[in-house]
């Protein structure tokens, strides 16, 4: 797993928090889970180990604000600020209104997006129905 690079401050013996330090990886996978009520972004390395993550709740949004497109865009900006990588593969799951804004924020950051996959699960005729009850 990629170790965060701790940035030392000029004061003696103090350093910044590992959560706010930038993590440097050359390539990675960004999983976007855009539910109707929340948005979560998870950044992993190529092997699948989680490097960092953020959601609308960790960005300070509560209740009805978490499902807004603005919250989704700010989650993407927070993840971009935490991780420094050159190219990524994006996998989107869900049907939130902020999906397009997330992709736009990732492209604006200068990140080279190799592929964008939609991995939203769709029903394929479902399970076999229960037998009819006699009575």
Which residue segments constitute the domains of the chain, with CATH numbers given?
A: 25-118 (3.30.420.80)
pLDDT tens digit sequence for 58-71: 999 999 999 899 99
Checking if the pLDDT of 5 tops 90, the result is no
- Angular region, 13: left φ>0, alpha ψ -120 to 50, beta rest: left
Closest CA to 111 of 83, 81, 88, 82: 88
pLDDT tens digit sequence for 79-128: 998 898 999 999 999 988 888 899 999 999 889 999 999 999 888 888 88
Task: Give the chain's length.
Answer: 135
> Helices then strands (H, E): number in the chain?
2, 7
What are the residues whose beta carbons fall under 8 Å from the beta carbon of 31, sequence distance 6 or more?
Answer: 41, 42, 43, 44, 91, 93
**pLDDT band, residue 129 (cuts 50/70/90):** confident
What is the value of pTM for the model shown? Answer: 0.77
Mean pLDDT of the chain: 85
28 vs 9, residue with greater confidence:
28
Distance separating alpha carbons of residues 86 and 104, to the nearest angstrom = 16
The β-bridge relationship of strands 87-94 and 27-34 is parallel
Q: What is the mean pLDDT of residues 16-20?
A: 56
C-alpha distances out from residue 60 to 54, 101, 108, 119, Å: 11, 18, 23, 27
21, 5 in Cβ contact below 8 A?
yes
């Amino acid at each position: 797993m990629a170790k965060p690079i701790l940035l030392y401050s000029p004061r003696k013996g103090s350093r910044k928090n590992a959560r706010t330090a930038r993590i440097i990886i050359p390539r990675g996978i960004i999983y976007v889970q855009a539910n109707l009520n929340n948005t979560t972004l998870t950044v992993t390395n190529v092997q699948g180990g989680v490097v960092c993550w953020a959601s609308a709740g960790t960005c300070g949004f509560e209740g009805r604000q978490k499902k807004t497109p603005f919250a989704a865009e700010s989650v993407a900006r927070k993840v971009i600020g935490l991780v420094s990588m050159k190219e990524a593969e994006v996998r989107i799951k869900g049907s939130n209104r902020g999906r397009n804004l997330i992709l736009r924020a990732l492209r604006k950051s200068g990140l080279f997006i190799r592929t964008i996959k939609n991995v939203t699960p769709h029903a394929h005729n479902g399970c076999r129905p229960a037998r009819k009850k006699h009575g």
